[in-house]
């Protein structure tokens, strides 16, 4: 009864079982696993140790390689994400090719997911046996150096993207900043004041916007969208659609006469949040960067009916800057890294009908209120009801609209408590005798100077009601309620339902992932979570990287964030990119596919499947070939090849099948009969 | 220690087909009590009742009228941001109270429930006048008069049945009920 | 002609006989056949759930099983019956353990329930099956100039059913509009009428009724339309007591939507039992009834 044919008994495997303090050992009997492993085929030495990742643990591996002549190493410990690199380096120091090492995860995959000690120990043995049987088939490999293109793509021109772009540009690297709106600035450009210091949002943002517009190292592509992403870390090729502005940027001086002369107004749903209007040829706001206007084709009378051309008639430049014939441009950009800073959307408050938005006219959203209190906004900063003139005598602010709610978004949207407090302050400031009711579930003000700001509002006399608003209605029951909006809420600190009559209600909706964020994550081949936010490589230790090398994230596209946090993350992403650029080359995993040219039937099935376009076809020889420099080792072609002649290095059939058989060691027929 | 049958555990167990979140996911936001159309008549709001259940304050919970005032309109349930079936929890406390007979005899709700149940067990269908007389003593004389007045007016318009209707396969029906709970056996 | 198993429920036997009659009249007029469930039993209303959830579900299941035996989907005109039937049916499908318990009990009456049928409220038949457009086509007596409250009450829309607008439903309004009437924008349209409280907590119930009547009057409505016998009885029969208790003066007719629909379809009022209300609807309807010799 022979063990399954092992290629040779010459390999000498060292097995190291880690306690991870008590993380593993409190559930898995690590001594037993190590003892048992010592009895397995090809195992030369087997040990358990408190912390394999410690210097002493690593030295254990090094010594055994040197003294016992180990040719293969297996470490049963945590996730390869944590320490694969550590142990590979230890092997290398001991004189062993780092790819002759295999890591087994008996923590995340075993001890952390059960309390059943017996079952956990059995599973650990199976996993270890799988690794032992796999590692003997490993082959020495060399890492592949990849050159980093020093240019960077930043997607999204809000405060996070602006920060990333400026950091890199100031460091001397070229940046392409792509923004889909006509101007950079993002949501921050719409705000009036920023909490908790109340500095004017535009005053602190516009200098940075100007810097971006004038920087020699920044190519600004507004009114543009990324359409395709090819390549990988160090060598991406990006296809960008630069939408037709119908304004020639080379000739336009940004004088704005065309805007002034355009006879048609439309409601501005984007920048003014529906609170104000703009012309059909427009700049979203006076400080827009770039200064060039854009024609809104859907609403332009010339485009729709063939008449008007007022903008062209009054354009003073020579040659004329208005160009009705302009077409979308498709650009190709070569970059080494990508920073995604695509921002957020606000939760659609109409999804909560009991709050009456759209039906009760004096219910406003936060963004509407931001535009209203903005001195440059549609009411010149006056707080008024929808009739544009009546000052509210009482205002209610509703927290957690669509957040902390399993019916909508489970997460806490993080910034709403603070901006709601800011709103309360602004009402106190502009209408000193107004009564303000702030309805919150829990007041969350963690941040420098944030709790102090809450204290300030307590002093200013805001009426705080601890309770999530149940409904807003205009159905009055008593004379005091007539003609008012009634906010119905339990004041949980008193334990009574209250009906608070007010003139105006401001809803504070959650920040949510951008519409289409799932498609964006697919475009860039990285992950987004259930809520649509992009997933970071590690929630604590690597919040700017993603699981895809060369693609980084910054700002609210990763999760709700305020301005300071977005700025920090934007700068951090830039620092990471700058580090890679200055290194020049990075070493990549040698996990690559290769095609056995003699056996290839030339069916070309693999050609179109490769997501990296790394497979070429030689017509005359009728065979396909993988370009190693382009291959990312995803394995798609390996699985697809009908002749099984494509091999993925480090994931060969021998290796994988041996591992599976190893894991199922106690299920083999001969074992059952024995 | 996880096996100890606390009051909150018992109540959760009584929410057999409850499809909501466990009661201990309550974040005490008050949406239920802000929504409740009957909250004015409760001596504790639904939110507080959930809090009290979670704190295992058994006697205090059973001494409230909250769960008997609940009209089972489910408005709290559909709005709860923690997806707790609050109306379902109210039913669970009602069941607890009836089973352990913790309610006081002058409480109309449970007496009515029992009468109602017996009527159905006896006839297969419910019958308003029989029910009325058995629970009517819970009201004062004035209300009793009004109740009769209302009933008479309805009867004049032909809207109250004179005799209770019975279903045909009553024996089978009663046996079906006894498959689940041996009700009505003492009679 | 689409056919349903019709489960009238205890209230429709007598107390809400006008709902029963008008339901049969209107469905017939619109080509829907309601076949009364043979030997149906009380579904336990809300009260049985006070005692035992499995038992309550079993009561409901017996009716469902009989409909299943007839090979028909179930229609209930009472919102409480409908809610019970809908959710027991859903639970049976989701919960094998519950299904086993219930089927064990159902054996006593030679019945089995798989949960394969669907359960509808009577109003859904008109809205989804017949369709609002078809109703509109069949209207011979458009109710122009009358303002009607579309009062949903609680249990048609709650607890949650996926994909439905449970806070601001619109189908009742659409149905009323199809009849030519004006549907009042009624803020409290899904607020509970207090139905199940009239016995256990009369004052609470009266107050809940008062709030609805107040809202209806303030919104200028002529009549309240309901789709549930409990709502109808509460809002109508207890109006006098509300007036007594709170010193108010409400005289708001409360009608079943099927009575109003029947009127619009040209069915004689006697057949719809219009006039059996305690707060007479005849005055507000007089202009549509002129041609009828009564």
pLDDT at A121 over 50: yes
Which of A382-386, B2-6, B19-23, C106-110 has the largest mean confidence?
A382-386
pLDDT band per the 50, 70, 90 thresholds, residue A3? very low
Q: Estimate to the nearest angstrom the gap between the alpha carbon of A62 and the chain centroid.
A: 39
R_g (Cα) of chain A, nearest Å: 31
Distance CA C270, CA C275 (A): 8
* Interface contact flag, A468 B48, Cβ < 8 Å: no
pLDDT band per the 50, 70, 90 thresholds, residue A614? confident
pLDDT band per the 50, 70, 90 thresholds, residue A269? very high
CB pairs A-B closer than 8 Å: 67
pLDDT band per the 50, 70, 90 thresholds, residue C46? low
pLDDT band per the 50, 70, 90 thresholds, residue A544? very high
Q: Pick B113 or A109 by higher pLDDT.
A: A109
Section A415-433 average pLDDT: 97
Among A246-260, B81-95, C213-227, which stretch is predicted with the lowest mean pLDDT?
Answer: B81-95
* Interface contact flag, A489 B44, Cβ < 8 Å: no
For residue C211, the chain A residues in CB contact (below 8 A) are 477
B81: nearest CB among A405, A489, A491? A405
**Is the minimum CB–CB distance between A207 and chain C shorter than 8 Å?**
no
ipTM above 0.85, yes or no: yes
Contact (CB, 8 A) for A429 and A395: no
Give me the pLDDT at residue A5, please: 43
Of the candidates A567, A575, A570, the one whose C-alpha atom is nearest the C-alpha of residue A553 is A570
Distance CA A530, CA B34 (A): 30
* Interface contact flag, A406 B83, Cβ < 8 Å: yes
Give A 339-368 residues with CB within 8 A of chain C: 352-354, 359
**Is the minimum CB–CB distance between A468 and chain B shorter than 8 Å?**
yes
pLDDT at C251 over 50: yes
Give me the pLDDT at residue A1, please: 32
Section A175-194 average pLDDT: 97
Chain A: list its partners (3+ Cβ pairs within 8 Å): B, C
- Residue by residue, DSSP assigns B36-82 as -TTGGG-SS-HHHHHHHHHTT-HHHHHH-SHHHH-----HHHHH-TT
Distance CA A241, CA A266 (A): 26
| pTM: predicted TM-score of the whole model, two decimal places | 0.87
Residue A183, burial from CB neighbour count under 10 angstroms (0-12, 13-18, 19+):
buried
Contact (CB, 8 A) for A303 and A283: no
Distance CA B33, CA B23 (A): 15
Report the gap between the CA of A486 and the closest CA in chain B (Å). Answer: 12
Give me the pLDDT at residue C101, please: 82
Contact (CB, 8 A) for C177 and C183: yes
Give me the pLDDT at residue C219, please: 93
pLDDT at A239 over 70: yes
Give me the pLDDT at residue A669, please: 66
C168: nearest CB among A353, A474, A476? A353
pLDDT at A672 over 50: no
| 3-class DSSP assignment, residue A368 | helix
Helices (H), A524-611: 563-583, 605-609
Give C 137-176 residues with CB within 8 A of chain A: 165, 167-168
**Is the minimum CB–CB distance between A489 and chain B shorter than 8 Å?**
yes
The DSSP 8-state label assigned to residue A517 in this structure reads: H
Section C40-46 average pLDDT: 77
Give me the pLDDT at residue B187, please: 31
- 3-state SS, B137-173, equals CCCCHHHHHHHHHHHHHHHHCCCCCCCCCCCCCHHHH
Contact (CB, 8 A) for A175 and A169: yes
Give me the pLDDT at residue A340, please: 98
* Interface contact flag, B45 A405, Cβ < 8 Å: no
R_g (Cα) of chain C, nearest Å: 19
Section C118-143 average pLDDT: 94
Of the candidates A282, A340, A384, the one whose C-alpha atom is nearest the C-alpha of residue A156 is A340
Contact (CB, 8 A) for A105 and A143: no
pLDDT at C34 over 70: yes
For residue C167, the chain A residues in CB contact (below 8 A) are 352-354
For residue A490, the chain B residues in CB contact (below 8 A) are 30-34, 39, 45, 47
CB atoms within 10 A of CB C31: 12
A468: nearest CB among B30, B39, B45? B30
Among A157-166, A278-287, B77-86, C151-160, which stretch is predicted with the lowest mean pLDDT?
Answer: C151-160
Distance CA A503, CA A525 (A): 49
* Interface contact flag, B139 C202, Cβ < 8 Å: yes
pLDDT at A353 over 80: yes
Give me the pLDDT at residue A673, please: 44
- Give percent above pLDDT 90 in chain A: 90
Chain C: list its partners (3+ Cβ pairs within 8 Å): A, B
**Is the minimum CB–CB distance between A483 and chain C shorter than 8 Å?**
no
**Is the minimum CB–CB distance between C35 and chain B shorter than 8 Å?**
no
Distance (Å) of CA B19 to CA B26, B128, C225: 15, 32, 32
For residue A477, the chain C residues in CB contact (below 8 A) are 211, 214
Section A544-573 average pLDDT: 96
Q: Pick A269 or B173 by higher pLDDT.
A: A269
Check whether the bond before B10 is cis (ω within 30° of 0). Answer: no
As beta bridge partners, residue A593 has A648
As beta bridge partners, residue A105 has A77
Distance CA A271, CA A166 (A): 24
Residues contacting B182, CB < 8 A, separation 6+: none
- Give percent above pLDDT 70 in chain A: 98
C215: nearest CB among A353, A359, A475? A475
Q: Which residues of chain B have pLDDT under 70?
A: 1-3, 16-18, 104-166, 179-187
Give C 244-283 residues with CB within 8 A of chain A: none
Among A15-24, A244-253, A365-374, A631-640, which stretch is predicted with the lowest mean pLDDT?
Answer: A631-640
A402 phi-psi bin (left φ>0, alpha ψ -120 to 50, beta other): left
Give me the pLDDT at residue C90, please: 87
The per-residue pLDDT of chain A, averaged, comes to 94
- Residue by residue, DSSP assigns chain C as -EEEEE---GGGGTTTHHHHHHHHHHHHHTTEEEEEPTT-----TTGGGGT-HHHHHHHHHHHHHHHHHHT--EEESSHHHHHHHHHHHHHHHH-HHHHHHHHHHHGGGT------S-EEEHHHIIIIIIIHHHHHHH-SS--TT-EEEE---STTT-S--TT--SSS--HHHHHHHHTTPEEP--TTTTS---TTHHHH-HHHHHHHHHHHHHHHHHTT-SEEEES-HHHHHHHHHTHHHHHHHHT------EEEHHHHHHHHTT--TTTTTTT-SSS--HHHHHHHHTT---
* Interface contact flag, A495 B40, Cβ < 8 Å: no
Residues contacting A238, CB < 8 A, separation 6+: A153, A176, A226, A228, A229, A230, A332, A333, A334, A335, A338
* Interface contact flag, C215 A354, Cβ < 8 Å: no
Nearest CA in chain B to C15: B159
pLDDT at A626 over 50: yes
Distance CA A619, CA A611 (A): 21
Of the candidates B116, A236, A396, the one whose C-alpha atom is nearest the C-alpha of residue C48 is B116
The per-residue pLDDT of chain C, averaged, comes to 89
Q: What is chain C's length?
A: 294
Give A 323-362 residues with CB within 8 A of chain B: 354
- Give percent above pLDDT 70 in chain C: 95
Q: Pick B163 or A397 by higher pLDDT.
A: A397
Q: For A39-69, write each residue's pLDDT tens digit.
A: 999 999 999 999 999 999 999 999 999 999 9
Chain B: list its partners (3+ Cβ pairs within 8 Å): A, C
Q: Pick A667 or A410 by higher pLDDT.
A: A410
**Is the minimum CB–CB distance between C97 and chain A shorter than 8 Å?**
no
* Rounded (5°) CA angle C28-C34-C40: 150
Does the CA dihedral A324-A327-A333-A337 come out positive or negative? positive
pLDDT band per the 50, 70, 90 thresholds, residue A328? very high
Check whether the bond before A290 is cis (ω within 30° of 0). Answer: yes
C214: nearest CB among A352, A359, A477? A477
Section C168-179 average pLDDT: 95
Give A 491-550 residues with CB within 8 A of chain B: 491-492, 495-497
Among B34-48, C17-31, C34-48, which stretch is predicted with the lowest mean pLDDT?
Answer: C34-48
Q: For A209-223, write each residue's pLDDT tens digit.
A: 999 999 999 999 999
């Amino acid at each position: 009864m022979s063990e399954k044919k092992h290629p040779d008994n010459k390999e000498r495997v060292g097995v190291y079982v880690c306690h991870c303090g008590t993380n593993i050992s409190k559930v898995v009997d690590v001594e037993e696993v190590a003892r048992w492993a010592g009895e397995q085929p090809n195992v030369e030495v087997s040990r358990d140790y408190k912390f394999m990742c410690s210097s002493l643990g690593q030295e254990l591996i090094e010594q055994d390689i040197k003294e016992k002549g180990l040719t293969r190493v297996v470490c049963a410990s945590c996730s390869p994400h944590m320490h694969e690199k550590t142990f590979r380096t230890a092997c290398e120091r001991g004189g062993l090719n780092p790819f002759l090492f295999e890591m087994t995860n008996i923590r995340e995959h075993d001890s952390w997911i059960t309390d059943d000690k017996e079952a956990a120990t059995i599973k650990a043995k199976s996993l270890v046996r799988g690794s032992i049987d796999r590692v003997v088939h490993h082959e020495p490999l060399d890492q592949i150096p990849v050159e980093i293109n020093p240019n960077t793509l930043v997607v999204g021109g809000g405060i996070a993207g602006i920060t990333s772009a400026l950091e890199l540009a100031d460091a001397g690297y070229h940046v392409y900043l792509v923004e889909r709106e006509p101007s950079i600035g993002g949501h921050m450009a719409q705000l009036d004041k920023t909490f908790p210091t109340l500095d004017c949002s535009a005053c602190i943002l516009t200098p940075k916007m100007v810097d971006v517009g004038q920087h020699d190292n920044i190519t600004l592509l507004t009114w543009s969208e990324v359409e395709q992403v090819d390549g990988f870390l160090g060598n991406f090729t990006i296809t960008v659609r630069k939408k037709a502005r119908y304004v020639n940027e080379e000739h336009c001086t940004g004088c704005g006469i065309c805007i002034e002369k355009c006879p048609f107004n439309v409601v501005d749903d984007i920048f003014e949040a529906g609170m104000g209007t703009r012309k059909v040829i427009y700049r979203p706001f006076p400080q827009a960067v770039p200064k060039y206007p854009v024609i809104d084709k859907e609403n332009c009378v010339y485009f729709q009916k063939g008449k008007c051309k007022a903008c062209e008639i009054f354009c003073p430049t020579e040659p004329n800057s208005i160009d009705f014939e302009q077409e979308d441009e498709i650009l190709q950009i070569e970059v080494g890294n990508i920073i995604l800073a695509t921002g957020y959307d606000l939760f659609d408050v109409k999804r909560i009908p009991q709050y009456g938005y759209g039906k009760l006219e004096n219910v406003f959203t936060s963004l509407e209120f931001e535009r209203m209190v903005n001195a440059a906004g549609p009411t010149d900063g006056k707080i008024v009801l929808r009739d544009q003139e009546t000052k509210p005598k009482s205002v209610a602010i509703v927290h957690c609209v669509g957040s902390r709610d399993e019916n909508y978004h489970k997460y806490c949207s993080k910034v709403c408590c603070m901006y709601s407090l800011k709103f309360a302050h602004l009402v106190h400031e502009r209408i000193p005798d107004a009564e303000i009711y702030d309805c919150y579930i829990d007041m969350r003000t963690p941040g420098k100077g944030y709790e102090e700001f809450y204290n300030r509002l307590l002093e200013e006399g805001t009426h705080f009601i601890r309770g999530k608003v149940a409904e807003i209605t205009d159905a009055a029951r008593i004379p005091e309620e007539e003609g008012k909006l009634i906010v119905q809420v339990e004041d949980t600190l008193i334990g009574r339902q209250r009906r608070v009559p007010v003139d105006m209600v401001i809803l504070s909706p959650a920040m949510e992932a951008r519409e289409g964020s799932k498609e964006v994550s697919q475009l860039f081949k990285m992950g987004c979570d259930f809520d649509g936010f992009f997933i970071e490589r590690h929630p604590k230790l690597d919040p700017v990287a993603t699981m895809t090398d060369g693609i980084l994230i910054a700002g609210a596209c990763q999760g709700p964030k305020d301005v300071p946090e977005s700025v920090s993350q934007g700068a951090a992403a830039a620092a990471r990119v700058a580090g890679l650029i200055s290194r020049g080359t990075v070493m990549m995993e040698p996990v690559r596919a290769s095609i056995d040219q003699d056996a290839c039937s030339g069916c070309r099935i693999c050609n179109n499947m490769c997501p990296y376009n790394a497979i070429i076809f030689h017509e005359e020889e009728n065979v396909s070939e993988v370009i190693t420099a382009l291959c990312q080792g995803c394995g798609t072609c390996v699985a697809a090849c009908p002749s099984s002649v494509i091999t993925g290095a480090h994931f060969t059939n021998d290796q994988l099948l041996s591992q599976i058989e190893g894991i199922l060691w106690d299920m083999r027929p001969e074992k059952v009969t024995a | 220690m996880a096996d100890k049958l606390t009051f909150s555990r018992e109540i959760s167990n009584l929410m057999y087909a409850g499809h909501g979140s466990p009661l201990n996911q309550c974040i005490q936001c008050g949406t239920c009590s802000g929504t409740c159309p009957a909250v004015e008549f409760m001596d504790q709001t639904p939110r507080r009742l959930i809090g009290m259940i979670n704190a295992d304050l058994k006697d205090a919970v059973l001494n409230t009228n909250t769960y008997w005032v609940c009209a089972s309109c489910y408005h709290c349930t559909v709005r709860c941001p923690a997806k707790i079936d609050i109306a379902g929890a109210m039913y669970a406390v009602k069941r607890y109270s009836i089973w352990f007979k913790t309610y006081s005899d002058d409480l109309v709700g449970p007496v009515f429930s029992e009468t109602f149940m017996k009527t159905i067990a006896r006839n297969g269908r419910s019958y308003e006048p029989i029910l009325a007389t058995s629970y009517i003593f819970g009201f004062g004389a004035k209300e009793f008069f009004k109740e009769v007045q209302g009933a008479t007016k309805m009867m004049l318009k032909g809207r109250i049945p004179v005799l209770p209707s019975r279903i045909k396969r009553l024996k089978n029906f009663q046996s079906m009920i006894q498959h689940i709970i041996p009700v009505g056996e003492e009679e | 002609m689409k056919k349903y198993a019709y489960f009238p429920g205890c209230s429709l036997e007598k107390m809400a006989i006008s709902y029963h009659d008008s339901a049969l009249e209107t469905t017939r007029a619109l080509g829907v056949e309601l076949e009364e469930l043979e030997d149906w039993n009380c579904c336990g209303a809300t009260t049985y759930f006070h005692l035992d959830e499995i038992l309550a579900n079993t009561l409901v299941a017996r009716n469902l099983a009989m409909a299943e035996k007839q090979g028909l989907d179930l229609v209930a005109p009472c919102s409480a019956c409908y809610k019970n039937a809908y959710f027991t049916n859903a639970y049976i499908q989701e919960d094998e353990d519950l299904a086993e318990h219930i089927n064990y009990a159902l054996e006593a009456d030679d019945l089995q329930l798989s949960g394969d049928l669907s359960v509808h409220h009577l109003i859904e038949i008109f809205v989804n099956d017949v369709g609002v457009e078809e109703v509109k086509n069949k209207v011979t007596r458009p109710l122009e100039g009358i303002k009607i409250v579309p009062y949903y009450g609680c249990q048609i829309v709650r607890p949650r059913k996926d994909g439905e607008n449970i806070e601001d439903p619109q189908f009742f309004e659409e149905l009323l509009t199809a009849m030519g009437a004006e549907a009042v924008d009624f803020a409290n349209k899904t607020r509970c009428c207090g139905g199940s409280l009239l016995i256990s907590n009369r004052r609470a119930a009266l107050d809940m009724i008062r709030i609805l009547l107040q809202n209806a009057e303030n919104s200028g409505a002529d009549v309240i339309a309901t789709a549930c016998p409990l709502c109808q009885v509460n809002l109508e029969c207890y109006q006098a007591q509300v007036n007594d208790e709170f010193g108010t003066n409400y005289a708001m007719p409360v009608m079943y939507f099927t009575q109003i629909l029947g009127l619009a379809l040209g069915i004689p009022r006697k057949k719809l039992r219009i006039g059996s209300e305690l707060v007479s609807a005849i005055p507000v309807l007089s202009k549509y009834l002129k041609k009828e010799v009564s």
